[in-house]
Structures are given as C-alpha cells and as structure tokens.
Amino acid sequence: MKLELIKDLSLTENIAKIFYQTLDLETQEVIDVIEKNRRYLHGFQDKRLYLIDPRKVLRIFSENKAVFIETKDGIFKSRHRLYHFEEMLDQYFIKISQGELVNIRAIRELNMSLPGNIEVVLSNGQRSFVARRRLKAFKKALQIGGKRYENT
C-alpha cells in the first residue's frame, strides 16, 4: 500500500480518501481505524435522535438533573452524565463549573474585569462564569495568567 499526504491550507477540515482496486485486509484495517476514531455525540430534540459532531458543540451543561448539549443549531438533551463527556472529549473541552463544560474553540471573549471571576462569552453570545475552584485549570488550559492580562 502506498501512502500520500498532501497539505492543503485551503481546506476547512481534513479529508481522508482511500483509493483501492480490491478491498484487502490491510486497507480494511486503515478504514476501521479511521471510523473507530470518529466520535459523535447523541442528542435528542423533539423525540428525534441527532448525531452531533463534537467540533460543533459550544457547551455541555446540566440543568434540573438533566444534561444538555448546545450547538449553534440548538440545544439537545443527552442521556449521558457530564462526567461521561469529560472522559470522552478532547483537550478542547474544559470544565468551568460543577455543571458545565465549554469548547475552548467556541470562546469569543473573556471578561476579566470582575475581581476573581472570569466571564466566558461564547460565539453564540451565551455567557457563563468560571467557578473559583476552576480558575487555575482554566487559565492553564488557555495559557493565560499573571497580572499582565488584568486591567489592560
């Protein structure tokens, strides 16, 4: 099997194409690895199940003992607990409070004007606060900290 990698800066997401004459064991193993690593979240809305790409998730939060997945397309109810998402999702998701994970890629701005608090504004305008006990981990994940970011 030959492997060809092509860097294309114009792509908005990576694409894997497999060309084959016959589907042999080696090629099937490559396909299985790619499909196994593709994870989707399951969310319900209006009695319908939706497969949600984790990259499209803005935040995952709990409210009234239920867990919800928020995307730009809407809010979906999940049957999983918040800790399930903490274990499953990649480094781009961070827990900001006891009941909320945010996608770092969805953060539009941080309001650090309140002493000891950080307000997170997501790309859809949703606002949340980082819990005091999560501040250190949050700042470390975003590589911020020190006095140089405050009151500038």
The predicted-structure confidence for 125-144, as pLDDT tens digits, reads as follows 999 999 999 988 888 888 88
Listed by start position, the domains of the chain span 41-149
- 103 bridge partner residues: 93
Residue 93 and residue 85 in contact, taking contact as beta carbons nearer than 8 Å: yes
Sign of CA dihedral 48, 92, 87, 139: negative
| Average pLDDT along the chain | 85
Q: Identify which has the larger pLDDT, 23 or 80.
A: 80
Q: What 3-state DSSP class applies to 77?
A: strand
Calculate the alpha carbon distances from 13 to 7, 16, 55, 104 in Å: 11, 10, 11, 18
CA proximity to 142, closest of 126, 123, 120, 127: 120
Whole-model pTM over 0.85: no
Fold that domain 41-149 belongs to in CATH? OB fold (Dihydrolipoamide Acetyltransferase, E2P) (2.40.50)
- Residue 149 in this model has a pLDDT that exceeds 60: no
Burial class (CB in 10 A: 0-12, 13-18, 19+), 70: buried
